[in-house]
Amino acid sequence: MSTPKKNKNPKKELTVEQRITRRNFISFGAFAVLAAGAYEGWRLLYKSPEEAAGITAGARKPLRRALNKTELFFRRVFSDNHLVKTYPKSMAAKRVRVNSDIGIETNKKFDPATWKLQVIKKPGDVLQVTLDDLKKLPKTEIVFDFKCVEGWDQIQHWGGVKFSDFISHYGLTDLTKMQYVGMETPDKGYYVGLDMPSAMHPQTILAYEVNDKPLPLEHGAPLRLIVTVKYGIKNLKRIGAISFSNNRPRDYWAEQGYDYYSGL
């Protein structure tokens, strides 16, 4: 509209109307370009390729990167002094929710009586621990709000051996200088990796009791992990083997697109 006039008299002052038109044109143009850019950026992210399957899998590449970076950030606020809130025993659920049986399916043969915990100190050097051995160690109980990644939570009462007590009793302290602990079910069907600080947190327990009774099979008899600083997905049932590593041990749900850290 105003261009022909401008070309003839480039130095002529623009009228108010022209200035309004021009400013509006620039603003709306910029708005449209930025909106299109934002949309394109979103589309690129949404359609971005899945990460190469490894220790973690199933997430979009940039989102996995973001999860890992975010982990680094929130690890800074992690402290052994930050404890999960505990409740009186009377508040604990009588019927403790069973959400999954991966790795402990009932059609699998398993005899709790012959079970022994395998602590893999290094390849070929395996410490075997029975349930009775564990019961001789000081018992720690906790009543806390168990949180599932799905969104539900339930106040539950667990009892067992504090993981850090277990470590010091069996002289495994040197191994905790490594970065990670890995745990697997005896059939290797379910497995989790824990960063060492979370494993050594004072409220992390190798549990053999729920509501003052021995664990039933569906809750992971004879021994399961209760790690209060993680979502339920890390609370492995029926621990078969424990190992130590400087690299992330394999983790069932991290292979399905979930955050490896999953810390609370």
Contact residues for another protein (CB under 8 A)?
20, 23-24, 27-28, 31, 34, 38, 42, 58-60, 62-64, 66-67, 70, 74, 77-79, 82-85, 145, 147-153, 228-229, 253, 256-259, 263-264
Cβ burial of 243 (10 Å; 0-12, 13-18, 19+) is buried
Is the distance from CB of 241 to CB of 127 less than 8 angstroms? no
Q: Are strands 241-245 and 117-122 parallel, antiparallel or unpaired?
A: parallel
Identify which of residues 59 and 117 has a Cβ nearer to another protein in the complex: 59
Measured from the Cβ of residue 102, the count of other Cβ atoms closer than 10 Å reads 16
Amino acid at 192: V
Question: What's the closest the beta carbon of residue 256 comes to another protein, in angstroms?
Answer: 6
Question: What's the closest the beta carbon of residue 137 comes to another protein, in angstroms?
Answer: 24
Residue 73: both structure tokens together = 């950030």
Question: What's the closest the beta carbon of residue 148 comes to another protein, in angstroms?
Answer: 7
Identify which of residues 22 and 116 has a Cβ nearer to another protein in the complex: 22
Question: What's the closest the beta carbon of residue 52 comes to another protein, in angstroms?
Answer: 16
Amino acid at 126: V
Is the distance from CB of 206 to CB of 166 less than 8 angstroms? yes
